[in-house]
Amino acid sequence: MEVVEAINLRRARRVFSERRVEHGEIMELAEAARLSASCFNNQPWRLVFCADKASLDSVKAVLSRGNAWATRAQLIAVVAARPPDDCQLSDHRDYFLFDCGLAIGQMELRATELGLISHPIAGYDPVKVKAALRIPEEYTVITLVICGYPGTDDTLLSDKQKEAEKQRPDRKPLGENVFLDGWGEQRS
């Protein structure tokens, strides 16, 4: 698959089958993240792939009600990092969040190539995720990536979520958030 094809096919879908994600596929996702670019090659991301019943259940228990759909997924990747493991910029900004985003972006494209859904979410309790997986206090749980094979049973989705499954959400037009040669500059 061409990268552009994976970019065009990738969608944050919410309907999962109960088919397990095999160990080899999990390692493919891990490798895609591992090879991502990072500031000075610091690789600040720490990924906990929850694939067995115990770890999955412990993470699913701390999801927000709006993410009930995620309880069908057979794999959840917990993304954590800590600021000292990456660059700090001159304005005292920590770079670790950006580098983790790059790694997860690559992982999402690889998931698409493998026929998997890869859907990052923010609807969870990070303190409880840390406790459930014994993640050290100094780490920030950045996101959970809900992964698995596409399914057909949409009974766990709200009406709004069912509607969102039908087509890719609109994207802002070029010129609204992408500029050329200066802020607010656009050319056709």
Domains and CATH numbers, the chain: 3-155 (3.40.109.10)
Q: pTM for this structure?
A: 0.92
Burial of 56 (0-12, 13-18, 19+ CB in 10 A): middle
Q: Is the pLDDT of residue 188 over 80?
A: no
Sheet bearing 75-81, strands edge to edge: 46-50, 75-81, 140-148, 117-121
Q: Are strands 140-148 and 75-81 parallel, antiparallel or unpaired?
A: antiparallel
Q: Are strands 117-121 and 75-81 parallel, antiparallel or unpaired?
A: unpaired
Nearest alpha-carbon partner for 120 in 11, 6, 35, 1: 11
User: Binning pLDDT at 50, 70 and 90, where does residue 184 land?
Assistant: confident
Give the chain's mean pLDDT. 93
Q: Is the pLDDT of residue 27 over 70?
A: yes
What is the signed CA dihedral for 105, 110, 114, 115, rounded to 10 degrees? 20
Structure tokens at 18: 């109960």
Q: Which residues pair with 75 in a beta bridge?
A: 147
pLDDT in tens, 43-64: 999 999 999 999 999 999 999 9
> Tell me, what's the pLDDT at 40?
94
Contact 113, 97 (CB under 8 A): no
